[in-house]
Amino acid sequence: MMHRKVLSPILTVAIAFLLSAVILGITSRQPRETLRWFFLGPFSNFYFFGNMLAASIPLMFTGLAACLAFSAGMFNLGLEGQHYFGAIIGTIVALSVPTSSVSSMFLALAVSFLVGALLALVPMLLRLTLGFSELISSFMIGQVFIYVGDFLLNGLFRDPEAALAATRHLDETVVLAKILPPSNLHAGYVVAIALCLMFTVVRKWFVMGYEFKMVRENPRFAKIHGMDVERIWLLAMILSGGVAALGGMVEVLGVYGRAVKGFSHGNGFNGIAVSLLVRNNPALIFLSALFFAYLESGAEIASLMVQTPAEIVRLVQGIVFCLVTAEFLFSRGERDADSVT
């Protein structure tokens, strides 16, 4: 039983690597160079390596966010919108409030958390009161707020001096400390890991974790035994949306120093795969986030060095998505096709 649980994700990763190598090899004019940069590029120097670690930070947050929702048996497909819009509002608030550096940083984080939580709360309320699938409504609400975020960045809050749609820069004292300069790696890495570990502990030893598990495995049973299932679902979604938005805000504070249009580029979505790749085990999220970041930075470096289309990475990520819940090596009777966890 155990070895299958470990082998299946490893097979998924191996297939994804193999397919990406094949696609790159076929389409590139200099396949050897391309493959070398794609696979070894992130390790070629400290700068690339640090950037790869930095790229895994938002994925850890969104991965944890997805994990929180899955832990209570919920789907949150609005992660992208919560991640993006939460960070934009947080940035705007931090820019408009003249307070000292540390408090405005915490203010930004708190505001983004609240906004993300709110965006995740609405689909859950729709589900509870009207019975409409949170799967579709969370996606659509998220999508709407990506547009609204773009609108804010392009219009009202755009820095007139910037060449691209972005807000003004945050004060230099507000941003998070860098760990491995000149790369982008910043203190958010530690925060992300701490949050993941915290949830691991909560899941394992706290009443809340047990409640999540009961509700996930059998909501009716939980209800019969007097649990407030609705409250637990709401809590899971609020935390999920909040953490996703927190990730966006940390990304802004750590890497960009301002909200830039399209900065989330799929991090929200990939969080779902990040969580599923390690079977929603929060203690291992850092590993799968690193794997996704590795793919992303490999593709980025390859496109920088040998001009391969960077979209290849979306292809590979999609393949991981398709296979991530697949159970290779399982005998056919054993699995329950619809369980995510």
Partner 1 sequence: MLTQLLRSSISSTLPIVVAALGASFTQRVGKLNIAIEGTMLVSCFVSVYVAAGSNSWLLGVTAAMTSSCLLSLFVWLIHRYLGANIFVTGLGVNLVASGLVVFLSSTLLGSKGTIFFEEMPSIPVLRLEVLEHSEPLRTLLFDYNVLELIAMLVVFVSWLITKTPLGLRMKAIGKNETVARQLGLNVDWTRIWSFIFCGLFCGLAGSMLSLPLGLFVAGMTNNRGWLALVAAVLGGDNPLGVLGVSMVLGFSVALSNRLQLFTTLPAEIVLSIPLILTLGVVLIYSILKTGERGRSP
The site for partner 1 (CB under 8 A) is made up of 27, 75, 77, 126, 129-133, 135-137, 139-141, 143-144, 147-148, 150-151, 154-155, 266, 269, 272-273, 276, 309, 311-328, 330, 335, 337-340
Cα separation, 124 vs 132, in Å, equals: 9
Report the nearest approach of partner 1 to the CB of residue 330 (Å).
6
Contacts of 332 (CB under 8 A, 6+ apart): none
Report the nearest approach of partner 1 to the CB of residue 272 (Å).
7
> Residue 175 or residue 319: which is nearer to partner 1 going by CB?
319
What's the chain look like in SS3? Answer: CHHHHHHHHHHHHHHHHHHHHHHHHHHCCCHHHHHHHHHHHHHCCHHHHHHHHHHHHHHHHHHHHHHHHHHCCCCCCCHHHHHHHHHHHHHHHHHHCCCCHHHHHHHHHHHHHHHHHHHHHHHHHHHHHHCCCHHHHHHHHHHHHHHHHHHHHHCCCCCCCCCCCECCCCCCCCCCCECCCCCCCECHHHHHHHHHHHHHHHHHHCHHHHHHHHHHHCHHHHHHCCCCHHHHHHHHHHHHHHHHHHHHHHHHHHHHCCCECCCCCCHHHHHHHHHHHCCCCHHHHHHHHHHHHHHHHHHHHHHHHHCCCCCHHHHHHHHHHHHHCCCCCCCCCCCCCCCCC
> Residue 19 or residue 287: which is nearer to partner 1 going by CB?
19
Report the nearest approach of partner 1 to the CB of residue 206 (Å).
27
Report the nearest approach of partner 1 to the CB of residue 327 (Å).
4
> Residue 184 or residue 303: which is nearer to partner 1 going by CB?
303
> Residue 58 or residue 254: which is nearer to partner 1 going by CB?
58
> Residue 137 or residue 264: which is nearer to partner 1 going by CB?
137
Report the nearest approach of partner 1 to the CB of residue 314 (Å).
3
Report the nearest approach of partner 1 to the CB of residue 14 (Å).
15
> Residue 148 or residue 193: which is nearer to partner 1 going by CB?
148
Cα separation, 285 vs 282, in Å, equals: 5
Report the nearest approach of partner 1 to the CB of residue 22 (Å).
13
> Residue 141 or residue 185: which is nearer to partner 1 going by CB?
141
Partners of 186 in beta bridges: 178
Report the nearest approach of partner 1 to the CB of residue 140 (Å).
5
> Residue 253 or residue 320: which is nearer to partner 1 going by CB?
320
